[in-house]
């Protein structure tokens, strides 16, 4: 029985470390998406005055940043889905262990909480799944849409001016 417990503890530790790693990557990639969109917006605003940044170059850079944002957003969504799977597995495992212990002791459900480290890891992942300034399920799609609109207007202004 001790080997089984060791395996469970080792698996739990591995899962928590992996979830923590995904949480850090999600936070970084979320800020990267925000930064790319900000740069794209600055390019658009600077292209309004051709002396600061010519329209042709601004259009090319804007298209590049839009595609880059699209790729980074796809990576973000893949990380988020992988993290959600691990999040659900850890949650199910905790619920199963608490329910299993209660059924063995023939007592009422226990009020014992999961370990502090586990609760913090799960909560920090849940909070990290939102992209800065546009939280929610459609946040990544809105960032892609914003970048496409910025890229379109930058190219359109360049087309009108020339």
pLDDT per residue over 113-157, tens digit each? 667 788 888 888 888 888 888 888 889 999 999 999 999 988 877
Domain annotation covers residue 31: yes
Domain residues for the domain of 34 are 2-47+66-161
**The model's pTM:** 0.77
Domain assignment present for 11: yes
Number of domain units in the chain = 1
Q: Is the pLDDT of residue 26 over 50?
A: yes
Q: Please list the alpha-helical segments (H only) found in 48-138.
A: 55-105, 116-128
57 assigned to some structural domain? no
| In a domain? residue 60 | no
Question: How much of the chain, in percent, has pLDDT values that exceed 70?
Answer: 78
Burial annotation 35-70 (CB, 10 A radius, 16+ → b, else e): ebbebbbebbeebeeeeebebeebbbbbbebbebbb
| In a domain? residue 53 | no
Q: Would residue 23 count as lying in a domain?
A: yes
């Amino acid at each position: 029985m001790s080997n089984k417990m060791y395996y469970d503890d080792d698996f739990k530790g591995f899962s928590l470390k992996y979830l923590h790693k995904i949480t850090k990557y999600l936070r970084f990639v979320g800020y990267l998406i925000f930064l790319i969109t900000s740069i794209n917006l600055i390019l658009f605003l600077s292209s309004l005055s051709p002396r600061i940044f010519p329209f042709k170059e601004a259009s090319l850079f804007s298209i590049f940043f839009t595609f880059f944002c699209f790729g980074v957003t796809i990576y973000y969504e893949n990380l988020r889905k992988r993290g959600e799977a691990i999040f659900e597995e850890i949650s199910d495992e905790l619920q199963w262990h608490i329910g299993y212990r209660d059924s063995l002791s023939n007592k009422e459900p226990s009020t014992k909480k999961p370990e502090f480290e586990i609760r913090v890891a799960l909560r920090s992942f849940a909070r990290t799944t939102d992209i800065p300034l546009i939280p929610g399920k459609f946040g990544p799609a809105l960032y892609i849409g914003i970048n496409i609109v910025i890229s379109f207007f930058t190219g359109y202004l360049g087309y009108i001016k020339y």
